[in-house]
Amino acid sequence: MAMVLSTCLAAPAWAQGAGQPGPTLLVLGDSLSAEYGLKRGSGWVELLRQRLAQDKRAATVVNASISGDTSSGGRSRLPALLKQHRPSVVLIELGGNDALRGLPLAMTEDNLRAMAQASREAGARVLILGMQMPPNYGAQHGQKFAALFAQVARDTRSALVPFFLKGVADLPDPTRLFQADRIHPNEEAQQRMLDNVWPELKKLLK
Give the residue numbers marked as catalytic.
31, 181, 184
The whole-angstrom distance between residue 70's C-alpha and the CA centroid of its chain comes to: 11
- CA dist., res. 115 & res. 92, Å (int): 8
| Per-residue buried b or exposed e for 80-115, using 16+ beta carbons within 10 Å of the residue's own CB | ebbeebebbbbbbbbbbbbbbeebeeeebbbbbbbb
Pairwise CA distance, residues 175 & 178, whole Å: 5
d(C-alpha 85, C-alpha 90), whole Å: 11
In Å, what is the CA distance from 114 to each residue of 119, 120, 158?
A: 9, 10, 12
C-alpha distances in Å from residue 162, one per residue of 77, 88, 116, 149, 156 = 24, 21, 16, 7, 15
- How far apart CA 65 and CA 45 sit, in angstroms, is 10
